[in-house]
Chain A
Amino acid sequence: MIRVIAGRSLESLVVLLLMSLVIYALIGLMPGDPIDLMVQGDPRLTPADAARLKALYGLDRPLLERYGNWLLAALGGEFGYSRLHNQPALAVILPRLGNTCWLMGASFLLSLAIALPIGVWSALRARTGADYAVNLAALAGISLPTFWLALMLITLFAVQLQWLPAGGLQTIGVESVADRARHLVLPVVCLAVTHAGAYTRFMRAAMVEVLRLDFVRAARAKGLSETRVLFAHALPNALAPTVTVVALSFGALFSGALVTETMFAQLGMGKLVYDSIMGNDYNVALVALLLATALTLAANLAADVLYAWLDPRVTFAGRTP
């Protein structure tokens, strides 16, 4: 088991390495380059100066060589400077990571708190009106454009009712947990609503699948109470696949966080990715994207491990059919 986890981790590292090359190449394809931006910002620089600067920073070297140099520096903990913030890229990113964790963590828990009970409840009433109503609501959640929901929430709760702030991390000059929390309410609800639908459908499908199995019928036939059948026998087995799919959808949650942070002016990783790409802040964009990729890969890895841990029948060898 340990060996297999090590193997899968290694695999994820290889994917991450490949992605770093891809992302590095893509960032290089973004309009303009750092020196052009410098030249634009300083009229005294001549094209000859620009060429000299490019040579100095190695920007005239082939892509793979530049990538190799960047990778060596990165492995040494050197990720370059942020153009927009005049700080080392990591110093810009790390505080944002914390903010994103709060947003994503809270939304994740909220959406699970909504999805798991409703999913189970719906599975127990499979093919009834209630079940279809749940499915309708779940699909509605999936189909809601996150940014539009954000706009609607802002319009209703911030503009019309004025109950909650429209954006930002906190009221300027106010340092209190309650104030931070008030600012988190709308973003968290927005992100949770757009993900709870998918989670509900996962939970329901897994539960329906399990309720059909013989051991559940056997448990009922033994005369166990319905509650016991449900919580001691069916639910644990249905949770394993659900947890896996939910962990696998981490990438989607991050995408949602990007939009949510942008809409509610939350200074998190998602907004940073967007801002740095829009603002040609190459070093920050590169590291932020890689960090997002690494987190997603880690979540996928966790999904695999969790699944094996929750479902003792699964051997890792049989994972890929």
Chain B
Amino acid sequence: MSGRLAAAFGGHRLALVSAALLVSITLAVAAAPLLAAILGVDPDEVNLLARFQGPSLAHPLGTDELGRDVALRLLYGGRVSLAVGLAAAVLAAAFGTAVGLVAGYRGGLVDAALMRLTDGVIALPLLPLLIVLAAIDPAKLPGLGWLVAGEDASLYRIVAIVVLVGWTTIARLVRGAALSLRGRDYVLAAESYGASALRIMVVHILPGVTTPIIVATTLAVGNVILFESVLSFLGLGIQPPTPSWGNMLTNAQELIYDAPALVIWPGAAIFLTVIACNFLGDGLQDALDPRARRD
């Protein structure tokens, strides 16, 4: 009996809690500049006299190795990590959707070629590849100069890199769905009065594949945040002084002895955000697609 009760609680309650958590995190990081203004603290301000301070009223989570406020940097880092996660996941979803629609609707050789490509990318060891991509010098690529210019350069780069390898899951999902929908009579009907391939894909097939896209994108946000954090941690992602949850940990390994607390907070923020994305994705899957219920 108690098992059933727990089950009823377990099902969607966790997804709801996750959604609430994600909304809170988003609101908190969005409010970061406001908080900084109210507290009169500059998150980038170095104060070598106030290094490694413990929690206090002025610095709720203490200060880091340069005397910066950890709580505020955490919020600013969250802005970057969340923005990168969301932007890369959505762009990758868009690209993967386009590939999947074309492959599934066109079929034949186009499908075979695109799916071989997808299989190929899926088969690759992702992180080493991401590291290479992050290490390349965009200045050597014609037309990509804008990627190196500007202070947000590392941000755009990481989004571009993740999109480049992150579209495959959705491409496969959408391709499968499109393949089953393209034989439907309503697609045939649209073809009969000469609707263009683009129109058929967007108007008639896309609405039928939104559920897997939403679920997969939610899960992807978590994954991207993980990849961003590890790349930034390794010094290849978001470049300091712009804080991200990943690069806040870059120096942490040496600081383990002096300030173990500095290691805990950014990692916990990543962990909480990613697990919330995963639970929300799971819950959405259950709610939106009754056939794929976890039972």
Interface residues in chain A, defined as those with a beta carbon under 8 Å from any beta carbon in chain B: 11, 15, 18-19, 23, 26-32, 125-133, 135-136, 139-140, 142-148, 151-152, 154-155, 159, 205, 208, 248, 251-252, 254-256, 258-259, 262-263, 270, 273-274, 277-278, 285, 288-289, 292-293, 295-297, 300, 320-321
Establish whether residues B128 and A289, one from each chain, have CB atoms under 8 Å apart when the complex forms. yes
Interface residues in chain B, defined as those with a beta carbon under 8 Å from any beta carbon in chain A: 2-7, 9-11, 14, 115-116, 119-120, 122-129, 131-133, 135-137, 140-141, 176, 179, 222, 226, 229-230, 233-235, 249, 252-253, 256-257, 260, 263-264, 266-267, 270-271, 274-275, 277-279, 282, 294-295
- CB A140 to nearest CB in B, in angstroms, measures 6
Partner of A255, one of B11, B128, B253: B128
Establish whether residues B270 and A148, one from each chain, have CB atoms under 8 Å apart when the complex forms. yes
Most buried by B among A143, A155, A159: A143
Contacts of B294 in A (CB 8 A): 126-127, 135, 205, 208
List the 9 shortest-distance A-B pairs measured between CB atoms, nearest first.
A129-B6, A132-B10, A255-B127, A148-B267, A143-B275, A29-B136, A143-B274, A31-B137, A128-B3
Partner of A296, one of B6, B123, B278: B123
Establish whether residues B126 and A252, one from each chain, have CB atoms under 8 Å apart when the complex forms. yes
Q: Which residue of A has the minimal Cβ distance to B13?
A: A132
Establish whether residues B263 and A143, one from each chain, have CB atoms under 8 Å apart when the complex forms. no
Interface CB pairs A-B, < 8 A, 18 = A11-B116, A26-B132, A28-B140, A29-B140, A127-B295, A129-B6, A143-B226, A145-B271, A147-B229, A147-B234, A148-B267, A208-B295, A251-B123, A262-B234, A273-B128, A288-B128, A289-B129, A295-B125
Q: Which residue of B has the minimal Cβ distance to A295?
A: B125
What is the CA–CA distance of A33 and B128 in the complex, to the nearest angstrom? 20
What is the CA–CA distance of A163 and B264 in the complex, to the nearest angstrom? 20
Q: A29-B141, A129-B3 are contacts. A285–B132 as well, Cβ < 8 Å? A: yes
Establish whether residues A296 and B125, one from each chain, have CB atoms under 8 Å apart when the complex forms. yes
What is the CA–CA distance of A220 and B211 in the complex, to the nearest angstrom? 36
8 further A-B pairs in the complex, CB-CB below 8 A; given A136-B10, A145-B226:
A126-B294, A127-B7, A131-B7, A147-B233, A148-B229, A208-B294, A289-B128, A293-B125
Establish whether residues A154 and B136, one from each chain, have CB atoms under 8 Å apart when the complex forms. no
Q: A128-B3, A147-B249 are contacts. A274–B123 as well, Cβ < 8 Å? A: no
Q: Which residue of A has the minimal Cβ distance to B275?
A: A143
Most buried by A among B133, B137, B266, B294: B294
Contacts of A154 in B (CB 8 A): 253, 256
Q: Which residue of B has the minimal Cβ distance to A31?
A: B137
Partner of A126, one of B4, B123, B295: B295
What is the CA–CA distance of A155 and B137 in the complex, to the nearest angstrom? 35
What is the CA–CA distance of A128 and B6 in the complex, to the nearest angstrom? 7
Q: A18-B120, A251-B125 are contacts. A27–B132 as well, Cβ < 8 Å? A: yes
Instruction: Name the prevailing secondary structure of the A interface residues.
Output: helix
Establish whether residues A145 and B267, one from each chain, have CB atoms under 8 Å apart when the complex forms. yes
Establish whether residues B136 and A151, one from each chain, have CB atoms under 8 Å apart when the complex forms. no
What is the CA–CA distance of A11 and B117 in the complex, to the nearest angstrom? 12
Contacts of B279 in A (CB 8 A): 139
A to B contact number (C-beta, < 8 Å)? 168
What is the CA–CA distance of A254 and B256 in the complex, to the nearest angstrom? 26
What is the CA–CA distance of A147 and B131 in the complex, to the nearest angstrom? 15
Most buried by B among A15, A205, A285: A15
- CB B116 to nearest CB in A, in angstroms, measures 8
- CB B231 to nearest CB in A, in angstroms, measures 10
Instruction: Name the prevailing secondary structure of the B interface residues.
Output: helix
Contacts of B128 in A (CB 8 A): 254-255, 258, 270, 273-274, 288-289, 292
Q: Which residue of B has the minimal Cβ distance to A28?
A: B140
Contacts of A131 in B (CB 8 A): 7, 10
Establish whether residues A251 and B131, one from each chain, have CB atoms under 8 Å apart when the complex forms. no
- CB A147 to nearest CB in B, in angstroms, measures 5
Q: Which residue of A has the minimal Cβ distance to B136?
A: A29
Establish whether residues A277 and B132, one from each chain, have CB atoms under 8 Å apart when the complex forms. yes
Q: Which residue of B has the minimal Cβ distance to A259?
A: B230
Contacts of B9 in A (CB 8 A): 129, 132
What is the CA–CA distance of A162 and B230 in the complex, to the nearest angstrom? 26
Establish whether residues A293 and B271, one from each chain, have CB atoms under 8 Å apart when the complex forms. no
Contacts of A205 in B (CB 8 A): 294
- CB B228 to nearest CB in A, in angstroms, measures 10
Q: Which residue of B has the minimal Cβ distance to A150?
A: B253
Partner of A320, one of B115, B135, B233, B278: B115
Establish whether residues A251 and B126, one from each chain, have CB atoms under 8 Å apart when the complex forms. yes
Contacts of B124 in A (CB 8 A): 19, 251, 293, 296
Establish whether residues B125 and A143, one from each chain, have CB atoms under 8 Å apart when the complex forms. no
Contacts of A140 in B (CB 8 A): 271, 275
Contacts of B5 in A (CB 8 A): 129
Contacts of A252 in B (CB 8 A): 126
- CB B143 to nearest CB in A, in angstroms, measures 13
- CB B224 to nearest CB in A, in angstroms, measures 12
Establish whether residues A155 and B256, one from each chain, have CB atoms under 8 Å apart when the complex forms. yes
Contacts of A15 in B (CB 8 A): 116, 119-120, 123
Contacts of B140 in A (CB 8 A): 28-29, 31
Partner of B263, one of A29, A155, A208: A155
Establish whether residues A151 and B271, one from each chain, have CB atoms under 8 Å apart when the complex forms. no
Q: Which residue of A has the minimal Cβ distance to B139?
A: A31
